[in-house]
Structure 1
Amino acid sequence: MCNYYLKRKIVRLLFLLIPALTPALVFSQTAAVDTSRVYLLNKSQQKSNLLQSTATVYNEQLITTPAPSFLQALPGRLSGLYTRQRSGVQATDDPISVVDFKIRGQIPTILIDGVPRDFSSIEPESIESVTILKDALSTVMFGQRSSGNIIQVITKRPVATPFKLSFTAQHGLQSMINKSKPVSAADFAILYNEARNNDGLAPVYSAADILAYQTGSDPLFHPNNDYSKLFLNKNAALDRFNININSGNETARFYVAMDYQREGGFFNTADINTYNTNSGVDRYIVRSNVSIDLNKNLNIGLNIFGRIQDANQPGGTTSSIFSAITYTPNNAYSIFNPDGSLGGNSTFSNNIYGMLNNSGYRKSSARDLAADMEVTQKLSDLVPGLWVKGNISYNNTVVTSVDRSKDFLVYNLDIGSGTPVYTQIGTSRAQSTTLSIGTRRTYTYGKLSLGYDKSFNGHNLSLLALADNQSTTVNLDLPASYTNIAGNATYNFKEKYFAEAALSYGGHNRFKPGNRFGLFYAAGLGWNLAKEDFLKDVSWISILKPRINYGRTGNANVGYYVYDQYYDYGASAAAYYFGSTPAVARYYRELPLANPNATWEKANKLNIGLDLELFASRFKITSEYFNDSYSDLMQNRGKTIQLIGQTYTAENVGKNRYSGFENSVSWNDKSASFGYFVSGNISILQSKVIYQDEIFRQYDYQKRTGLPVDQVFGYLADGFFQSQADINASPAVDGYTPVPGDIKYKDLNGDGIINQFDETALGTQKPMIYYGLTTGFNVKGFDLSISIQGVANRDIVFASGYNSVADAREFDFQNSGNAQAFEQHLNRWTPANAANATYPRLSIGTNTNNQRASSFWVQSMAYLRLQNVDLGYTIPASLTSRIKLSSVRVFANAFNVYSFDKLNYSDPEGYNSIFPLRRTFNIGLNVKL
Structure 2
Amino acid sequence: MDKTILPEYGLKREMVRLCLLPILFLMPELVFSQTGPVKKDSLPVTETISLLNKSQKKSNLLQSTATVYNEQLITTPAPSFLQALPGRLSGLYTRQRSGVQDTDDPISVVDFRIRGQVPIILIDGVPRDFSSIDPESIESVTILKDALSTVMFGQRSSGNIIQVTTKRPVVSPFKLSFTAQHGLQSMINKSKPVSAADFAILYNEARNNDGLAPVYSAADILAYQTGSDPLFHPNNDYRKLFLNKNASLDRFNINMQSGNETARFYVAMDYQKEGGFFNTADINTYSTNAGVDRYIVRSNVSVDLNKTLNIGLNIFGRIQDANQPGGTTSAIFSAIAYTPNNAYSIFNPDGSLGGNSTFSNNIYGMLNNSGYLKSSARDLAADMEITQKLGIILPGLWIKGNISYNNTVATSVDRTKDFLVYNLNIGSGTPVYTPIGTSRSQSTTLSISSRRTYTYGKLSLGYDRNFNGHSLSLLALADNQSTTLNLDLPATYTNIAGNATYNFKEKYFAEAALSYGGHNRFKPGSRFGLFYAAGLGWNLAKEDFLKEVPWINTLKPRISYGRTGNANVGYYVYDQYYEYGGTSAAYYFGSTPAVARYYREMALANPNATWEKANKLNIGLDVEMFDSRLKITSEYFNDRYSDLMQDRGKSIQLIGQTFPAENVGKNRYTGVENNISWNGKSASFGYFVSGNISMLQSKVLYQDEVYRQYGYQKRTGLPVGQVFGYLADGFFQSQADINSSPAVDGYTPVPGDIRYKDLNGDGMINQFDETALGTQRAMIYYGLTAGFNVKGFDLSISIQGVANRDIVIGSGNNLVANALAFDFQNSGNAQAFEQHLNRWTPANAANATYPRLSIGTNTNNQRASSFWVQSMAYLRLQNIDMGYTLPASLTSRIRVNSIRIFANAFNVYSFDKLNYSDPEGYNSIFPLRRTFNIGLNVKL
> TM exceeds 0.5?
yes
In 2, the alpha carbon distance for the partners of 1:585 and 1:345 equals 50
Kept in 2: contact 1:282–1:311 (CA 8 A) = yes
Q: Which position in structure 1 is the counterpart of 2:740?
A: 729
SS in 2 for 1:355: helix
Kept in 1: contact 2:45–2:309 (CA 8 A) = no
- 1:799 equivalent to 2:797? Answer no
Match of 2:633, as an amino acid?
A: T
Task: Pick the aligned partner of 2:244 from 228, 233, 251.
Answer: 233
SS in 2 for 1:490: strand
Kept in 1: contact 2:19–2:315 (CA 8 A) = no
Deviation at 1:801, TM superposition (A): 1.8
SS in 2 for 1:557: coil
Q: Which position in structure 1 is the counterpart of 2:66?
A: 55
Task: Pick the aligned partner of 1:678 from 689, 692, 704.
Answer: 689
Residue ranges of structure 2 left out of the alignment (5+ in a row): 1-11, 22-43
Q: Which position in structure 1 is the counterpart of 2:16?
A: 18
Match of 1:65, as an amino acid?
A: T
What are the Cα deviations for residues 810-848 of structure 1, in whole angstroms up to 9, with x where unaligned?
A: 000000110000000000000000000000000000000
- 1:617 equivalent to 2:628? Answer yes
Pair 1:800–1:16, CA change in 2 (3 A): closer
Match of 2:697, as an amino acid?
A: Q
Match of 1:287, as an amino acid?
A: R
Aligned pairs, number: 906
Q: Which position in structure 2 is the counterpart of 1:338?
A: 349
What are the Cα deviations for residues 833-872 of structure 1, in whole angstroms up to 9, with x where unaligned?
A: 0000000000000000000000000000000000000000
Match of 2:369, as an amino acid?
A: N
In 2, the alpha carbon distance for the partners of 1:765 and 1:21 equals 52
SS in 1 for 2:150: helix
Q: Which position in structure 2 is the counterpart of 1:868?
A: 879
Match of 1:866, as an amino acid?
A: L
Q: Which position in structure 2 is the counterpart of 1:486?
A: 497
- 1:527 equivalent to 2:557? Answer no
What are the Cα deviations for residues 846-902 of structure 1, in whole angstroms up to 9, with x where unaligned?
A: 000000000000000000000000000000000000000000000000000000000
Q: Which position in structure 1 is the counterpart of 2:191?
A: 180
Match of 1:18, as an amino acid?
A: V
Match of 2:16, as an amino acid?
A: I
Task: Pick the aligned partner of 1:385 from 366, 391, 396.
Answer: 396
Q: Which position in structure 1 is the counterpart of 2:606?
A: 595
- 1:348 equivalent to 2:359? Answer yes
Q: Which position in structure 2 is the counterpart of 1:813?
A: 824
Deviation at 1:540, TM superposition (A): 0.1
After the TM superposition, which residues 119-134 of structure 1 pair with which residues of structure 2 at under 5 Å, given as runs?
119-134=130-145
After the TM superposition, which residues 318-717 of structure 1 pair with which residues of structure 2 at under 5 Å, given as runs?
318-571=329-582, 573=584, 575=586, 582-583=593-594, 586-717=597-728
Match of 1:404, as an amino acid?
A: R
What are the Cα deviations for residues 288-318 of structure 1, in whole angstroms up to 9, with x where unaligned?
A: 1110000000000011000000000000000
Q: Which position in structure 2 is the counterpart of 1:247?
A: 258
Task: Pick the aligned partner of 2:305 from 294, 301, 307.
Answer: 294
What are the Cα deviations for residues 4-53 of structure 1, in whole angstroms up to 9, with x where unaligned?
A: xxxxxxxxxx9998326889xxxxxxxxx9999x9999986664420000
SS in 2 for 1:139: helix
SS in 2 for 1:310: strand
In 1, the alpha carbon distance for the partners of 2:591 and 2:744 equals 50
SS in 2 for 1:907: coil
Task: Pick the aligned partner of 1:901 from 908, 912, 923.
Answer: 912
In 2, the alpha carbon distance for the partners of 1:280 and 1:587 equals 48
Q: Which position in structure 2 is the counterpart of 1:145?
A: 156
Match of 1:895, as an amino acid?
A: F
In 1, the alpha carbon distance for the partners of 2:195 and 2:646 equals 47
SS in 2 for 1:816: helix
Match of 2:355, as an amino acid?
A: G
In 2, the alpha carbon distance for the partners of 1:425 and 1:801 equals 34
In 2, the alpha carbon distance for the partners of 1:583 and 1:213 equals 67
SS in 2 for 1:763: coil
In 2, the alpha carbon distance for the partners of 1:696 and 1:132 equals 40
- 1:854 equivalent to 2:852? Answer no
Pair 1:781–1:448, CA change in 2 (3 A): same
In 2, the alpha carbon distance for the partners of 1:520 and 1:437 equals 39
In 2, the alpha carbon distance for the partners of 1:167 and 1:426 equals 52
Kept in 2: contact 1:41–1:56 (CA 8 A) = no
What are the Cα deviations for residues 152-177 of structure 1, in whole angstroms up to 9, with x where unaligned?
A: 00000111111100000000000000
Kept in 2: contact 1:34–1:113 (CA 8 A) = no
Match of 1:193, as an amino acid?
A: N
Match of 1:780, as an amino acid?
A: K
State the identity %.
88
In 1, the alpha carbon distance for the partners of 2:152 and 2:449 equals 33
Deviation at 1:526, TM superposition (A): 0.1
Q: Which position in structure 2 is the counterpart of 1:211?
A: 222
Deviation at 1:573, TM superposition (A): 4.2
Match of 1:129, as an amino acid?
A: S
What are the Cα deviations for residues 365-412 of structure 1, in whole angstroms up to 9, with x where unaligned?
A: 000000110000000011101000000001000000001000001000
Kept in 2: contact 1:364–1:399 (CA 8 A) = yes
In 1, the alpha carbon distance for the partners of 2:165 and 2:308 equals 24
Task: Pick the aligned partner of 2:203 from 192, 205, 208.
Answer: 192
Match of 2:911, as an amino acid?
A: F
In 1, the alpha carbon distance for the partners of 2:726 and 2:292 equals 45
Kept in 1: contact 2:45–2:308 (CA 8 A) = no
SS in 2 for 1:195: helix
Q: Which position in structure 1 is the counterpart of 2:783?
A: 772
- 1:921 equivalent to 2:932? Answer yes
In 1, the alpha carbon distance for the partners of 2:460 and 2:886 equals 47
In 2, the alpha carbon distance for the partners of 1:716 and 1:650 equals 32
SS in 1 for 2:234: coil
Pair 1:467–1:556, CA change in 2 (3 A): same
Deviation at 1:456, TM superposition (A): 1.2
Q: Which position in structure 2 is the counterpart of 1:11?
A: none
Deviation at 1:453, TM superposition (A): 1.1
Deviation at 1:580, TM superposition (A): 8.7
